[in-house]
Amino acid sequence: MKKFLIVLMVLFFAISLLGAEKVLRVLMPIGGGYTIEDQEAIAKEFEKDNPGVKIEMEFVGWDELWNKIITSIGAGAAPDVMYIGSRWIPALAEMGAIIPLDDYVSPEKKALYYDTVWDTVTYKGKIWGIVRAMSTKVFIYNKKLFEENNVPIPKTWDELLEAARKIYNPSKGIYGIAMAGKKFVSTVTQFQQYLYANDGRIVDENGKVTINNNNAVEALNFYVKLSKYAQPGILEWKREDLIKLFETGKVGMYIDHVHNALKAIEKGIDVGFFMIPGGPSSTKPFSTVIVTDSIAISSQCKDKELAIKFMEYMTSFEKQAEWDLKLGFVPPMIKEKDLQEFQKWYWKPYIDAIKYGYPEAVNIKDWEGVQEVVLDAIHSVLLGVSDAQTALNQAAKVIEILQK
């Protein structure tokens, strides 16, 4: 009888194991076009293709995503799969919160993407995420204002400054360029467009702070020179709000996403595009900051093979193309440019810019802290309370501490 009970218990246990559901916890952001419905649809499709697997999605707003990740890691309750801003990779890698993915990225997978896209998820020679969303930026310009003022497409910084000066007519409410100056994080990215275009960097490939070298100082001084031909009250403007100004037809040009260019076209603006010219110290003719979001695997994940399988599913060519077409993102996969949608004229400059791109936050260990330091430097120079060299010297001292 005793043996019978033991056998029965073993059988019961085996049956329960066979019927056990594998659970994968996935943290996803909401906002900026990301919806709960879209993400849950992905989970359900994966579950359908993988019987016995349950995807438990957790949702949080973009503004809360970083804090959610950090607190869950600290509590030992990190999700298995995390959707992150790739700018956080150095910090998460340093704290051992995510795993390197080199062993899981096949040569075929790697060949799907532009090399500059992989740069955004690489830290200390290792790959820590697979890109899921990407943006590049170029200048959007008002063709009418350029033609009325006999302004050619700028190919150098001198020509860019001259274009802004010629179009600038404040008595008629017309401004040569729209620029961000508000003490807000996107102002940092706007400045980075010029910093990287002049071969300036916040830190170099070894993590050494270079934000105060000649290239960077030249870039910040140029930002201030351009601001003289921008809209009044630049210190009150976020990059996200500049489209509202451009849509009035009173601005010559500004740097932004393709989807805002389409908004301006819908408002009747005759829109053109040109890539961001390289600065006087640049080795390249053009530049752009490449910003990506990516999928990472938590070091606390108990079923890494399942996590990798789900990540591969989310970043397959079919799913990536579907995602980019739905949300209007610049395609990170090379083959996507051949899709019908990306043949449209307004996509060309954004796709062409990829090869000249540089990652938003490569080798920066504490992006959240560093961006605040750089923002303070930009703001102090725009306010006229500091010169560029002094402001960036001070920023460099603080960033050196953050890089340790």
Kindly indicate whether the domain formed by 138-256+366-402 is annotated with CATH number 3.40.50.300: no
Q: State how far the Cα of 260 lies from the Cα of 265, in Å rounded to an integer.
A: 9
Structure pTM? Answer: 0.90
- Is 39 or 53 the better-scoring residue by pLDDT? 53
User: Which amino acid makes up residue 161?
Assistant: L
* Opening angle at CA 103, ends 101 and 108, nearest 5: 95
Q: State how far the Cα of 263 lies from the Cα of 327, in Å rounded to an integer.
A: 14
Which pLDDT score, from 0 to 100, does residue 42 have?
A: 87
Q: Which of 251, 252, 255, 329 is nearest to 286 (CA)?
A: 255
In this structure, of 7-21, 126-140, 200-214, 270-284, the range with the lowest mean pLDDT score is 7-21
pLDDT at 6 over 70: no
Which pLDDT score, from 0 to 100, does residue 139 have?
A: 98
Q: Which residues pair with 175 in a beta bridge?
A: 251
User: pLDDT tens, 345-365?
Assistant: 999 999 999 999 999 999 999
HEC profile of 27-51: EEEEECCECHHHHHHHHHHHHHHCC
Q: Do domains 22-134+291-350 and 138-256+366-402 have the same CATH topology?
A: yes
Which pLDDT score, from 0 to 100, does residue 17 have?
A: 44
Q: Which residues of 327-352 are buried (b: 16+ CB within 10 A; e: fewer)?
A: eebbbbbeebbeeeebeeebbebbbb
Contacts of 127 (CB under 8 A, 6+ apart): 100, 101, 102, 105, 118, 121
Average pLDDT estimate for 210-225: 98
Q: Which fold has domain 22-134+291-350?
A: D-Maltodextrin-Binding Protein; domain 2 (3.40.190)
The full set of domain ranges for the chain reads: 22-134+291-350, 138-256+366-402
pLDDT at 4 over 70: no
Q: State how far the Cα of 3 lies from the Cα of 217, in Å rounded to an integer.
A: 82
pLDDT at 16 over 90: no
User: pLDDT tens, 245-256?
Assistant: 999 999 999 999
In this structure, of 7-21, 183-197, 260-274, 352-366, the range with the lowest mean pLDDT score is 7-21
In this structure, of 6-20, 57-71, 92-106, 354-368, the range with the lowest mean pLDDT score is 6-20
Q: State how far the Cα of 209 lies from the Cα of 400, in Å rounded to an integer.
A: 6
Q: Which of 377, 365, 353, 375 is nearest to 402 (CA)?
A: 365
